Amino acid sequence: MRLKTLELNGFKSFSQKTVLSFESPVICVVGPNGSGKSNVVEAIRFVLGEQSMKSMRGKAGTDLIWKGSKNLPKGSRASVSIYFDNGDKVFKMINDGGENIDLNFSTISISREVYPDGVNKYILNGSEVRLKDINNLLASVNIGSSGHHIISQGEADRILNASPKDRKEMIEDALGLKIYQYKIKESTRKLERTEENMKEVTMLRRENAPHLNFLRKQVEKFEKTKELQNNLLSLYREYLKRESVYLEKEKKDLNNEKHKITTELKDITPKISDNENDNSIQGNKKIEELKIVEQKLSEIRNLKGEMSRKLGRIEGMIESEERRLAKEIEISIFSPEEVKGLVAEINSSIDDAILKNDLEEIRPILKRIKEILNHFDKNKNQIEKDKNSLEISKLKNTQNELLQEIKILENKEKEMEIEIQRFKNEINKEMEALRDKEREKFSFKVRHQELSSALNLINVKEQNLGREIEAFENEIKEGSVLIGGDILSYKEFVFEGTIDRNIQEEQRRKIERIKIKLEDAGGNNGFEIKKEFDAVVERDNFLAKELLDLEKSIVSLQELLSSLKDKIDSEFKEGIKKINVEFQEFFSVMFGGGAGSLSVVVENKKKKKAEDEEEDMEDEEIVFEQGIEINVSLPHKKVKELHALSGGERSLTSIALLFAMSQVNPPPFLVLDETDAALDEANSRKYGDMIEKLSKRSQLVVVTHNRETMSRAGVLYGVTIGADGASKLLSVKFDEAVSIAK
């Protein structure tokens, strides 16, 4: 990698596009004072991302734009571009994850533009980028932001005047450790973001927990409801199927029986004489009485069925009320803490009684113990009393009443059946007593009455059956509200055996009890709650996984930071050793002997307190900061401290140190702005020798007035000021200049 060209356009005194080519390891920029030589150095600072206007002899970005003259208009912007040969692909970018990315460009171009409004633009190979990206890119080739690779006029001893801490940063930059610093900075920033994200995720989970617990309880309630619905559906499938089969059979049987009776009535009616036999009067009365009894039997059976259904519902309500009371009792019973408190108070009172010998003093204590025990017993009795609540008592009374009424109806049903059979027997006896002819007439009459009574009974049964069918349909509607459309699955249910109405009534009671439980449980919107619960659980699981990933990321970043710090520490210590070797060599050359070295020192610094913290000196934290001290020993002198050096000695020391730093981890180029101005002829030759040595590892851009320094350059760039006030550039190879001079 090498520096190829530098382009200036509208930058300070360079009003027009000006190009410098770096075809030689050493180029010199020469010219009279005020011609714009130092503007070339400042252009390099500018394009490499320098932010200090002071270092570029300006106050604002607008000071860098060509101001104009009588002959040339004012510039609309200032731009500088620098081009590097990247054939060896040494340039790398650091992404936000701290990873190095190779740039597959044969030439790397970096441009910077500044506009009258102060806006800066950074362009990398034609694409606008951030200053951060430029700094990361340059750090990958050991061009750091400390400016150790650019030594301007009057700044040669900057490293000597710097604090130990700042001096350490400059040396880290020169050692190429800036790339690790950027990685540490990015990793630290990412760690902070990760920790902040972790706090946010933890807070989100904490905020989500109450709602999740609420939904979990609702889902548990829904699951319980769902279980009840499944049980109800199971009961419904068999009950409704059997009931539908029963109703269909009853309807069919009644139709057949009605048709049969109607047909027989049509046949027998003509056979009945108009004149009724007096002897049949009694039989007619008995037939009418038989009809009445059969009607009452039908009514009793219907009433019994209705009461059975009411009984099932009452039993369900009793179970619900008992569950509610059980919960209340659980709440009202003394908690373990309350019992412990009562026991502690009783024990304390007993202890006080034991300590006192006076009976009069013991009596109040015993009275207090009695009050506590009475309170406990009273509360206990109250709890037992509450178990038999008025509501449950009423329901149980209603239950008992219904059971008694059902029992009474069952007894009446048996009595009616016996009465009907008695009427039939008496009618048969009367028929036997009649003469044959009269018996025949009477038998037709009796048969007609029987058929008429049977037909009326069938009509009643049809009405009852209609009500049962209506109740069946209502049952389906009511059931669909509780368990949905699945209730219609009863149609596919298959059963074996006969239909026992007593079993049906028992099933009916069970259904009513479960319906009561479902009404108490509620939860008709359970599916929506389950859906919301699943969504919240999924989000909580996602947050938990994200939290785990963040924890892993934090551990990984902490390990990376630790590794980077160890690497910086290790390479810094090794770099100091190498710099000391080179520093000693350059120092001996410059001074003809003596010694120069760097040493690591530790300074104690008090950490600044936050504004809201109290001024307490004892609580101030002491921070240990590393720094670099420069140690010198001049030949034939006792001077060992920097402040005791003369101006020339300080210049030679700083040059020796800067050159030593550049040799350990050489930057692609060094810019020297009149660093040789204070050197005499003898030291100029030594300076020139060192330049030649440095040029073997780095390109050199030297601004100088020194003839000896010029002689070491391959190309000379002469800078002049034209009549229009703008700087102009003239390039000449040194060999050609020498031949022209001869």
Q: Are 171 and 661 in contact (CB under 8 A)?
A: yes
Q: What is the 3-state secondary structure (H, E, C) of 1-57?
A: CEEEEEEEECECCECCCEEEECCCCEEEEECCCCCCHHHHHHHHHHHCCCCCCHHHC
575-618 tens-digit pLDDT: 899 999 988 988 888 888 889 999 988 876 665 555 555 555 45
Buried b (16+ CB within 10 A) or exposed e, 648-670: ebbbbbbbbbbbbbbbbbbbbbb
Q: pLDDT tens across 649-680, in order?
A: 887 888 888 888 878 877 888 898 888 887 88
Q: Is the pLDDT of residue 423 over 70?
A: yes
Contacts of 511 by beta carbon, 8 Å cutoff, 6+ apart: 232, 235, 236, 239, 312
At 283 the pLDDT is: 57
pLDDT at 687 over 80: yes
pLDDT for position 361: 64
- Ramachandran sector of residue 628 (left: φ over 0; alpha: ψ -120 to 50; beta: rest): beta
Band (80; pLDDT cuts 50, 70, 90): very high
pLDDT at position 735 is 61
The pLDDT tens digits for 214-245 are: 888 888 888 888 888 888 888 888 889 888 99
- Of 13-17, 300-304, 389-393, the range with the highest mean pLDDT is 13-17
pLDDT surpassing 80 at residue 739:
no
- Percent with pLDDT over 70 in the chain: 80
Q: Please write the tens of the pLDDT for every residue from 144-164.
A: 655 567 877 566 677 888 888
| pLDDT at residue 416 greater than cutoff 60 | yes
Q: Do the Cβ atoms of 128 and 38 come closer than 8 Å?
A: no
Who has greater pLDDT, 495 or 121? 121
pLDDT of residue 580: 92
Does residue 376 contact residue 334 with C-beta atoms inside 8 Å? yes
Position 385 scores a pLDDT of 53
Answer whether residue 43 shows pLDDT above 80: yes
- The percent of residues in the chain predicted with pLDDT above 90, rounded, is 15
Tell me: pLDDT of 273 over 80. no
pLDDT value at 206 more than 70: yes
When mean pLDDT is compared across 565-579, 623-637, 692-706, the lowest value belongs to: 623-637
Question: Which stretches of 22-157 are DSSP H helices?
Answer: 37-47, 131-139
pLDDT in tens, 170-196: 888 777 777 777 788 888 888 899 889
Phi then psi dihedrals of residue 728, to 5 deg:
-125, 155
Round the average pLDDT of the chain to a whole number and report it.
80
Q: Quick: pLDDT tens for 287-342.
A: 777 778 777 877 887 787 778 777 777 877 777 777 777 666 555 555 555 555 66
Q: What is the pLDDT of residue 7?
A: 95
Q: What integer is the mean pLDDT of 484-500?
A: 85
Does the pLDDT value for residue 741 go beyond 50? no
DSSP letters, 571-590, are HHHHHHHHHHHHHHHHHHHH
Q: Which two tokens stand for residue 84?
A: 């590097």
Q: How confident is the model at residue 643 (pLDDT cuts 50, 70, 90)?
A: confident
pLDDT score of 278 more than 50: no
- For 435-461, what is each residue's pLDDT tens digit? 555 666 677 777 787 788 788 888 888
Q: Report the alpha-carbon distance of residue 454 to residue 448 in Å, rounded.
A: 10
**What is the maximum alpha-carbon separation in the chain?**
180
Q: Measuring CA to CA, how many Å separate 223 from each of 319, 519, 534, 641? A: 20, 15, 13, 86
Q: pLDDT tens digits, residue range 93-149? A: 766 655 666 678 899 999 999 999 989 999 999 999 998 888 888 887 878 655 567
* Distance of alpha carbon 24 from alpha carbon 342, whole angstroms: 100
Are the C-beta atoms of 409 and 304 separated by less than 8 Å?
yes
The 10s digit of each residue's pLDDT in 242-255 is: 889 989 988 999 89
For residue 129, list its beta bridge partners: 122
